[in-house]
Amino acid sequence: MEASYSSSPSSSLIVSFFSLAVLATCTALFWFWTKFKSRKLPPGPVAVPIIGSFVWLTSSILKLEPVMKQLRRKYGPIMTIRLGFRTLIFVSSNTLMHEILVRKGAAFADRPPATAATRVITTNQHTITSGRYGPLWRVLRRNLVAEILHPARVESFREARLWVLTHLVQKLRSESDANGSVEAMEHFRFAMFSLLLFMCCGERLEEKAAREIETAQRAYIRNFVNLNVFVIFPRLGKWVFPNMWKEVIQVRRGQVEALLPLIKAREHSKRLQMISSSDHGAGRKCFKDAYIDSLLALEIPVDGGVRKLTYDEMVSLCSEFLNAGSDSTATALEWVMANVVKNKEVQAKLVKEIDEVVGEGGSGGTPRRRRRFVEEEELKKMPYLRAVVMEGLRRHPPLSYVLPHAVTEEVEINDGYVIPKGTTLNFSVASVATDEKIWKDPLEFKPERFMGANEEEAVDITGSKEIKMMPFGAGRRICPGLGLAMLHLEWFVANLVREFEWKTKKGEEVDLTERVEFTTIMENPLNVVLLPRNNNSKKDYC
């Protein structure tokens, strides 16, 4: 009887496995307890050892914002969520954002360690948006600001902006004439992409070639939300999600195949000293200050010395430049124009202001022929135009959250909470934009809030003094392209409103429902009827 009671090898294995599981759980509990017992973390949902707070997010890990709204109502403007052994803090208070991003910005200017997917797409975080806070990031950002975003450099691309606007207006007019209405976003997106592509490679590519490059870039944008699953298992993701990993490799291959030939061609041209004034007017407009040129010349710090960028790193930087500068601007442009269509009085005020500055009498009251396009210098005389763009960015920021930040040292904030070193922080742009404590009637589209004696007029879009809105982020990681984006938005809005009367189809209304992808887009894209405000022929385009 006793002999028959002895355990079998399989039962011993089960007992051993169970014991190990219990030991692992106890170890995890002890680790969490010792790590956080003396720290006052922001509140949040209960964290299960190993799994973390993942159970709170499983229903919509790819649609985060609805869950976050529920959690904010329960836990307040700052809360802690754990994914495995990673601690994430979400902030929706504008005062806390200013304290963290601006006043204590140096400690919070880092990025989290890259996931497996991010390492592939960014060449191990060798881009400005993904780069860790340090010498490499400073060199990359300084190069972009000095070589492309400096006012003198931006001015050198004025002709490119005219070229893109001309083609955009022609495309809109052509489709409107053919179909009776236009789905504007695809035209906005390709126009912004063409402009950024020109600034990147210094050439006017044929439309077919430009669209092939855009297709490769959009493959990443289409998969961006899905790639967030790699946050759950940063290092094991390619084994946990093998099909998604294949898509990452395919997206990267497409980027390399699209952009590497442009980089090598530009390098070859420089080597042969082909960039000269003789290129002008030959159908290929070349500039010595194209972004690729700056990357070819750039030296980055490494191991106490410097080295040139690799081709892979240049592909990542060009891809970043094209995506960050085109998709977000096109999205913002669609939202602004959607509200211009929805609010007829806004469109009427815009037309009146533009005509007063650029109309039949011209600037300063000097009679002259009606110009085709608003000039960039005239934008400064159009405060209502700027107010419309600002209100569009407030009401519909292109990104619901700024890119995640990481803290480089343990920091205590004013509410008494302690942010542990290495914690990832996420800041809700959308929640600030709709905060009734900051904005009166926040869901209404009211450009007048940025004009006259209104207390909201003095809003600092950089957030350096106070954060009331931050469509471009804030602090040390603020988007370096803020000035360029505002120029593009104001100039394109002014000219599109001057060129056409924008209306919905009879019986239809503009639907402002949002959907989160790479940016926060319109669930139902803007579809409009365009009525030309004058009958200038094609030859009249600037």
Query: From the annotation, which residues make up the binding site for heme?
Result: 479
Is the four-CA dihedral 214, 216, 217, 219 of positive or negative sign? Answer: positive
Where are the extended beta strands (E) located within 138-239? 182-183
User: Comparing C-alpha atoms, which of 180, 184, 178 is closest to residue 527?
Assistant: 184
Which alpha helices (H) appear in 202-310, and where do they start and end? 207-223, 237-240, 242-271, 291-297
Q: Find tokens 């009249």 and name the residue.
A: 540
Q: Which two tokens stand for residue 99?
A: 């304290």
Distance in angstroms (rounded) separating the CA atoms of residues 122 and 309 = 13
DSSP per position, 238-266: HHHSHHHHHHHHHHHHHHHHHHHHHHHHH
CB atoms within 10 A of CB 202: 24
DSSP letter (8 states) at residue 322? H
Is the four-CA dihedral 156, 464, 424, 64 of positive or negative sign? Answer: negative
Question: Taking the chain, what is the end-to-end CA distance rounded to the nearest angstrom?
Answer: 101
DSSP per position, 345-378: HHHHHHHHHHHHHHSTT-GGG---PPPSS--GGG
Distance in angstroms (rounded) separating the CA atoms of residues 292 and 279 = 17
Distance in angstroms (rounded) separating the CA atoms of residues 286 and 279 = 7
Distance in angstroms (rounded) separating the CA atoms of residues 146 and 506 = 49
Q: Binding site: what residues are annotated?
A: 479
Burial 344-376 (b: 16+ CB within 10 A, else e): eebbebbeebbeebbeeeeeeeeeeeebbbbbb
Q: How far is CA 519 from CA 398, 401, 410, 413, in A?
A: 5, 9, 31, 30
Is the four-CA dihedral 261, 266, 269, 271 of positive or negative sign? Answer: negative
CB atoms within 10 A of CB 19: 10
